[in-house]
């Protein structure tokens, strides 16, 4: 028995707006574009800020991959909100926020985040749906990840230690996976935990003989208590979203991580374990790709990376430090200092192409104010071979030296500017150069963390 309050709504019924009822003309008139926001670098591009701005004009916001490894900061009305697993739409009362099947959900982290928002006066639980197909992060995922990362020494991926990769591995492996639909059925969940924990404990004992021991009853109690709160939020979000699309609701898809962390298309193995490029929208949400008519790619005016892996335009020098301080480049989730470098047009253009973005956002442009010169990495030199294509091997990417195009900088504070033509000429030229290399028009330029510090270009 599914007693979710969304269950009734999520049963598909062909209505007047369903495709089977439409004439060709109606289909054209009634089709409402869904929009997506995708990170084009290694994460933290200010996706959260752009999603927050677009949320005003949408009714549904969907997270479709990743988990509480994400960290999105939004600022408006003098307040700062930090979101991790919850879709950014959760802050808006008119929005239903959806955690779709492709997300991995740590139930305890989900409730902590909801409680944190409630403590700040934002009661959002009634506006949230969680897919019963989404997979559940359990204690053994965290313990196994910690042991694996430790064993890799200097070759560690530098994960967020949230059990993301180990949970996705169980999902794809299909043997010891638990979904939200299992979690909310007490007996099913308890039986699975009793089967999985002894097996996992044997592996953990080998990986880390000094490591902690799991307590089966404690896990069942703690997770079942969380399940009691999650049960009313659980639903078949896939059918619900398809119905919403038929009903011409405005849907916004919110990417987590960045395209270069995509497990299939990113800088493997220094990636996350989901399809964080635009390629993940269809598989992660169940909404067909052709329903998405507008893809916005977000990139910083420079590049950052947190964790291990090659980074050709990295600045291990005073300039990198200056960018880190000016941009407050410290991880939202782990607090780690982010590695900083010049804008990598090779990697970012690759991301824009695989996700098929229609337009780009250049964020944190204000951070580059005050430099005499600013540079863009427009090609790689790999052992004397010049290329504008992102290499597939990590070894080649590690060997790549940036070929830089250097432009004059600007000294003015731009954080109060609201029109593109009012930016210093050199800042305009910098943006136009990126636009030209990327081959996509700029839609937004962000000049500060607040919602109002955003320039929207007329298209
Ligand atoms: P996300 O993971 O892509 O949502 O990005 P994060 O929120 O992790 O990181 C972006 C950081 O930059 C956050 O602290 C934002 O508040 C901040 N931010 C966003 N846009 C701007 C901007 O235009 N200028 C400055 N200085 N900070 C910004
Ligand atoms: P948002 O949504 C930046 C990085 C980690 C690590 C790698 C794998 O805020 O852009 P994982 O824990 O996912 O297995 O770690 O991916 N990473 C991120 N880096 N922003 C993120 O999210 C990230 N999520 C994961 O640092 O290098
Ligand atoms: Mg982030």
Alpha carbon nearest to ligand 1 atom 21, residue:
449
Which of 159, 273, 339 to mutate for ligand 2's pocket (most ligand atoms within 8 Å of CB)?
159
Measured in angstroms, how far is the CA atom of residue 377 from the centroid of ligand 2? 23
User: What is the rounded average pLDDT of the residues 245-273?
Assistant: 97
* Residue 333: predicted pLDDT: 78
pLDDT in the model for residue 194: 98
Assess whether the C-beta atom of 38 lies below 6 angstroms from ligand 2.
no
Which residues, at least 6 apart from 301, have a Cβ–Cβ distance to it below 8 Å? Answer: 343, 362, 363, 364, 365, 367, 368, 430, 434
Average pLDDT of span 214-238: 98
User: Is the distance from the beta carbon of residue 46 to the nearest atom of ligand 1 less than 6 Å?
Assistant: yes
Give me the pLDDT at residue 145, please.
96
Protein residue with least CA distance to atom 19, ligand 1: 449
CA nearest ligand 1 atom 14, residue: 73
Does 80 sit behind a cis peptide bond, omega within 30 degrees of 0 on the bond before it? no
- Provide the angle, in degrees to the nearest 10, between the axes of the packed helices 107-119 and 216-230: 50
**Which ligand is closest in space to the CA of residue 299?**
1
Q: What is the pLDDT of residues 80-112, one digit of tens each?
A: 999 999 999 999 999 999 999 999 999 999 999
Residue nearest to atom 25 of ligand 2 (CA): 69
231 CA distance to ligand 3 middle (Å): 28
| Burial class of residue 116 in the structure, from the number of CB atoms within 10 Å of its CB (0-12 exposed, 13-18 middle, 19+ buried) | middle
Q: What span, in angstroms and rounded, lies between the C-alpha atoms of 275 and 428?
A: 33
Neighbours of 256 (CB within 10 A): 31
How many angstroms separate the CA atoms of 446 and 315, rounded?
Answer: 22
The angle subtended at Cα 302 by Cα 300 and Cα 304, nearest 5°, is: 85
The whole-number pLDDT of residue 353 equals 97
Average pLDDT over residues 114-135: 95
Residue that is written with structure tokens 């995708």 in the block: 38
Is the model's pLDDT at 31 over the cut of 60? no
Q: Are 238 and 285 in contact (CB under 8 A)?
A: yes
Kindly tell me if the per-residue pLDDT of 2 is higher than 70: no
Closest atom of ligand 1 to 331 CA is 8
Mean per-residue pLDDT of the chain: 92
- What is the structure's pLDDT at 18? 38
Q: Is the pLDDT of residue 195 over 70?
A: yes
Q: Which ligand is nearest to the CA of 337?
A: 2
Question: What confidence score (pLDDT) does residue 32 get?
Answer: 59
Tens of pLDDT, residues 343-401: 999 999 999 999 999 999 999 999 999 999 999 999 999 999 999 999 999 999 999 99
- pLDDT at 291 (0 to 100): 93
Mean pLDDT of 428-455: 97
Find, among 277, 284, 289, the residue nearest to 39 by Cα: 277
What is the set of active-site residues? 44, 72
Instruction: Identify which of 49, 326, 455 to mutate to test ligand 1's pocket (most ligand atoms within 8 A of the CB).
Output: 49
User: Does the C-beta of 45 come closer than 6 Å to ligand 1?
Assistant: yes
Residue 332's pLDDT band (cuts 50, 70, 90): confident
Residues whose CB is less than 8 angstroms from the CB of residue 87 and which lie 6 or more positions away in sequence, other chains included: 51, 61, 62, 63, 97, 98, 99, 254
pLDDT, average across residues 40-52: 97
- Closest ligand, as measured to the CA of 82: 1
CA distance 454 to 449: 9
Whether residue 295 contacts residue 309, with contact meaning beta carbons closer than 8 Å, is answered with no
What average pLDDT score do residues 51-75 get? 96
Quote the Cα angle for 196-197-199, to 5°. 70
Beta carbon of 87 within 6 Å of any ligand 2 atom? no
**Which fold is adopted by the domain 136-228?**
Adenylosuccinate Synthetase, subunit A; domain 2 (1.10.300)
Pairing of strands 79-83, 72-76: antiparallel
Would you say residue 25 has pLDDT above 50?
no
Question: Percent of the chain at pLDDT above 90?
Answer: 87
Cα of 138 vs centre of ligand 1, distance in Å, is: 30
Asked if residues 361 and 444 have their Cβ atoms less than 8 Å apart, the reply is yes
**Does the pLDDT value for residue 3 go beyond 70?**
no
Protein residues with C-beta less than 5 angstroms from the ion ligand 3 = 44, 71, 332
* Pocket mutation for ligand 2, best pick of 73, 157, 257 (most atoms within 8 Å of C-beta): 257
pLDDT the model gives residue 459: 64
In sequence order, which residues have a C-beta less than 8 Å from that of residue 179 and are 6 or more positions away? 132, 133, 134, 135, 136
**165 touches ligand 2 (CB under 6 Å):** yes
71 lines ligand 1 (CB under 6 A): yes
Share of the chain above pLDDT 70, in %: 93
**CB of 49 shorter than 6 A to ligand 1:** yes
Which residue CA neighbors atom 20 of ligand 1 most closely? 449
Our answer on whether the CB atom of 160 is closer than 6 Å to any ligand 2 atom is yes
Per domain, the residue ranges of the chain are: 4-129+234-295, 136-228
Q: How confident is the model at residue 29 (pLDDT cuts 50, 70, 90)?
A: very low
Three-class secondary structure assignment of the chain: CCCCCCHHHHCCCCCCCCHHHCCHHHHHHHCCCEEEEEECCCCCCCHHHHHHHHHCCCCEEEECCECCCCCEEEEECCEEEEECCCCHHHHCCCCEEEECCCEEECHHHHHHHHHHHHHCCCCCHHHEEEECCCEECCHHHHHHHHHHHHHCHHHCCCCCCCCHHHHHHHHHHCCCCCEHHHHCCHHHHHHHHHHHHHHHHHHHHHHCCCCCCCCHHHHHHHHHHHHHHHHHHEECHHHHHHHHHHCCCCEEEECCCCHHHCCCCCCCCCCCCCCCCCCHHHHHHCCCHHHEEEEEEEEECCEEECCCCCCCCECCCHHHHHHHHHCCCECCCCCCECEEECEEHHHHHHHHHHHCCCEEEEECHHHHCCCCEEEEEEEEEECCEEECCCCCCHHHHHHCEEEEEEEECCCCCCCCCCCHHHCCHHHHHHHHHHHHHHCCCEEEEECCCECCCEEECCC
Q: Whose C-alpha lies nearest to ligand 2, atom 6?
A: 159
Residue 307 Cβ contacting ligand 2 at under 6 Å: yes
How far apart are the two ends of the chain, measured CA to CA in Å? 50
The predicted structure's pLDDT at residue 20: 39
Please check the confidence at residue 267 and state whether its pLDDT lies above 60: yes
Is pLDDT above 80 for 421? Answer: yes
Q: Higher pLDDT residue, 8 or 369?
A: 369
Distance (Å, rounded) from C-alpha 20 to C-alpha 132? 27
Residue with CA nearest ligand 1 atom 18: 449
Taking the domain 4-129+234-295, which CATH number applies?
3.40.440.10
Q: Does the beta carbon of 72 sit less than 6 angstroms from any atom of ligand 1?
A: yes
């Amino acid at each position: 028995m599914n007693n979710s309050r969304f269950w009734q709504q999520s049963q598909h019924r062909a209505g007047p707006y369903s495709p089977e009822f439409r004439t060709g003309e109606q289909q054209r008139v009634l089709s409402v574009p869904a929009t997506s926001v995708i990170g084009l670098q290694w994460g933290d591009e200010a996706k959260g800020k752009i999603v927050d701005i677009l949320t005003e004009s949408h009714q549904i916001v969907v997270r479709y991959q990743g988990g509480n490894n994400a960290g999105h900061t939004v600022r408006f009305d003098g307040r700062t909100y930090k979101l991790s697993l919850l879709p950014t739409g959760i802050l808006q009362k008119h929005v239903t926020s959806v955690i779709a099947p492709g997300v991995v959900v740590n139930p305890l982290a989900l409730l902590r985040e909801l409680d944190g928002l409630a403590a700040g006066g934002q009661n959002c639980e009634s506006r949230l749906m969680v897919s019963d197909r989404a997979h559940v992060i359990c204690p053994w995922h965290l313990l196994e990840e910690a042991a694996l990362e430790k064993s890799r020494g200097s070759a560690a991926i530098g994960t967020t230690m949230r059990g993301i990769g180990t949970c996705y591995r169980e999902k794809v492996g299909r043997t010891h996976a638990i979904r939200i639909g299992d979690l909310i059925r007490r007996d099913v969940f308890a039986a699975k935990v009793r089967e999985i924990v002894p097996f996992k404990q044997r592996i953990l004992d080998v990986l880390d003989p000094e490591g902690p021991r799991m307590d089966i009853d404690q896990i069942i109690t703690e997770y079942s208590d969380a399940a009691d709160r999650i049960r009313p939020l659980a639903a078949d979000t896939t059918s619900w979203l398809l119905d919403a699309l038929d009903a011409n609701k405005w849907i916004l898809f919110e990417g987590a991580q960045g395209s270069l962390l995509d497990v299939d298309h990113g800088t493997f193995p220094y990636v996350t374990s989901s399809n964080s490029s635009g390629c993940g929208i269809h598989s992660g949400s169940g909404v067909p790709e052709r329903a998405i008519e507008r893809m916005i790619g977000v990139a910083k005016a420079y590049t950052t990376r947190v964790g291990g892996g090659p980074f050709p335009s990295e600045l291990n020098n005073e300039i990198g430090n200056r960018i880190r301080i000016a941009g407050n480049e410290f991880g939202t989730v782990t607090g780690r200092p982010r590695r900083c470098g010049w804008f990598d047009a090779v990697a970012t253009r690759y991301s824009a192409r695989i996700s098929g973005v229609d337009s780009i956002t250049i964020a944190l442009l204000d951070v580059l104010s005050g430099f005499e010169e600013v540079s863009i990495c427009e090609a790689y030199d790999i052992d004397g071979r010049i290329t504008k294509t992102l290499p597939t091997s990590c070894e080649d990417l590690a060997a790549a030296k940036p070929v830089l195009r250097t432009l004059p900088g600007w000294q003015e504070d731009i954080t109060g500017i609201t029109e593109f033509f009012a930016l210093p000429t050199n800042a305009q030229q910098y943006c136009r150069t990126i636009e030209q290399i990327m081959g996509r028009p700029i839609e937004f330029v962000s000049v500060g963390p607040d919602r109002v510090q955003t320039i929207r270009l007329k298209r």
